[in-house]
Amino acid sequence: MRGIRKNDSSFLSQIFMEDIYGVSLTEWVGYLAMAGLLISFTMKDVKKLRIINTIGCILFVTYGFMLQTAWPIIISNGAIALINLYYLVITKD
């Protein structure tokens, strides 16, 4: 990575600021989360929908933390992921 020293105290923040094809890592995580949610709603099988939707929600929670703690994104997607996991693991319908 360009000009990043591992002993620098802001190493992690510099990684998040690095661009990949002109798009920051934070934005990439957001785009992946969005794609996961959109793809999940094309599923006919509810189990596949919940699995892919949960992955998208987890990515959105990560994205919320990468945005320096965007609580509405973190709380809503965290709750949806927990609901999906409840129906995937506990009820097994």
DSSP structure string for 28-90: HHHHHHHHHHHHHTT-SSHHHHHHHHHHHHHHHHHHHHHTT--HHHHHHHHHHHHHHHIIIII
- Does pLDDT of 27 surpass 60? yes
Q: What is the pLDDT of residue 18?
A: 65
Inter-residue contact 14 to 8 (CB < 8 Å): yes
pTM exceeding the 0.85 threshold for the entire prediction: no
d(CA 62, CA 89): 22
| Mean pLDDT of the residues in the chain | 85
Q: How far is CA 56 from the centre of its chain?
A: 6
Bigger pLDDT: 14 or 22?
A: 22
CB 29 within 8 A of CB 63: yes
pLDDT tens by residue, 28-72:
999 999 999 999 999 999 999 999 999 999 999 999 999 988 999
